[in-house]
Structure 1
Amino acid sequence: MTVHQWHRDTVGQRAVQALIKNQFDAVYFATKGEAEEHILQFINSGAKVGFGGSMTLAEDLGLVEKVKAKGAITLVHSDPQLSAEEKLEVMRQQQICDVFLASTNAVTLDGCLVNIDGVGNRVAAITFGPKKVVIVVGVNKICQDVEAAHHRLQSTAAPKNNKRLQYENPCTVTGSCANCQSPTRICRIYSVIKRKPMLTDITVVIIGEELGY
């Protein structure tokens, strides 16, 4: 085992234990290949499965096609073929789907999930609505505490997502948050989940690799 892998394993498992203490179901896998089987066990043929606009799930794990292969109905609002009205309807359907798959912008070593949304559909579905929520996150998103998590969101997650979405906000020039007043600002809803929501079945899957933004 390399020193890098030792550190990823150690930090990932610490985060899992903190999440469990905060009443989440949580599990750690060293690689995305190992995690995939665990994630897909929650998917049944015919189930409606929502995706929270996650690069971790769509690009790093390729889960959209794998979920389709299990016979599930996928609800992907980022599909470029959707009209604005169709996209909004998919977001609404995600709130009442059977399984909602998403990532989180940060997870803290004291067991909190920290997110920023533009519309709020992702943090809404994570908090309440779907029958099952599965959060998949790489160790690169683990932060010491909520303050460090917010710094990560401002310096890393938000600028990269703005660039990916091709919004001409200040952070796509400077590479860090400027607390802008832009009409296309995507940092609008700030969410810190300190304990598992009372009526939401959440599993957090931490993977010992760098995934997503």
Structure 2
Amino acid sequence: MKEIYNLHNETIGLKVVENLKKNDFSAIYLKTGVEASKFIMDNIRKGDKVGFGGSMTVVKLGIQEKVASLGGFVLDHGDPTLSPDDKMETMRGELLSDVFICSSNAVTMDGELVNIDGVGNRIAAMTFGPKKVIIVVGVNKICKNESSAFERLEQIAAPMNNMRLKMPNPCTKTGVCMDCKAASRICRVYSVIKRRPVRTDMTVIVIGEELGY
């Protein structure tokens, strides 16, 4: 059974990578998170300022700890010890990092990246600012097309992130986006990256495992 899952993951993962490359992204398919972690760390040097975009996929890979052990400077606005002012300054710092590492809420079979943000800092850093951007996605985030990608945002990514952040929004009760008008709404900035931004060194890693949400 596992062999068939792995074969399917590799089949769709390689197809997505092929189409990402057609859209001018640098892209690679790696079978495991361990391989992805090594690939990421091979792109980081001692002294680099490394920004993180609030990705549970990246947290699972333990990249923050590995960067710190290497002697890099970790810029992670998700650090619970930060004050609100320090969190904002860290977000701004991430925009000028040497390497910015994040995930994408969805990636289409056509090789497009679909995202949703509350502040917009992650989307901003993905598209312009850092010297290098590395985007890590598990195969569970692959969607047939842009329409199904937005459905994934509404049915999975947004509700689960609201739950993770303990936000008092309707989707934490219903399990799906209610397009709420709440002041605490975190679904505010939407983005579709159809092709690699002209001046951004961007690599997308597709991992043959289910990671993040």
Give the corresponding residue for 2:154. 154
Count residues with an aligned counterpart.
Answer: 212
State the distance in 2 between where 1:13 and 1:68 align.
Answer: 32
1:65 aligns with 2:65: yes
State the distance in 2 between where 1:17 and 1:70 align.
Answer: 32
Give the corresponding residue for 1:96. 96
Letter of the structure 1 residue corresponding to residue 67 of structure 2: V
State the distance in 2 between where 1:5 and 1:81 align.
Answer: 39
State the distance in 2 between where 1:165 and 1:7 align.
Answer: 32
The SS at the match of 1:180 is: coil
State the distance in 2 between where 1:184 and 1:126 align.
Answer: 24
Give the corresponding residue for 2:46. 45
Within-5 A mapping of 1:7-86: 7-58=8-59, 60-86=60-86
1:178 aligns with 2:178: yes
Letter of the structure 2 residue corresponding to residue 64 of structure 1: Q
**Which runs of 5 or more residues in structure 1 are unaligned?**
none
Give the corresponding residue for 2:134. 134
Q: Can you list the C-alpha shifts for 1:63-112, whole angstroms capped at 9, x where unaligned? A: 11011111100001011111000000000000011000000000000010
Letter of the structure 1 residue corresponding to residue 41 of structure 2: L
Residue identity over aligned pairs, in percent, reads 56
State the distance in 2 between where 1:168 and 1:82 align.
Answer: 22
Letter of the structure 1 residue corresponding to residue 21 of structure 2: I
Q: Can you list the C-alpha shifts for 1:5-39, whole angstroms capped at 9, x where unaligned? A: 00000010000000000000000011111111111
State the distance in 2 between where 1:50 and 1:12 align.
Answer: 26
TM-score by length of 2: 0.98
The SS at the match of 2:74 is: strand
For the aligned residue pairs, the C-alpha RMSD in angstroms reads 0.7
Give the drift of 1:41: 1.0
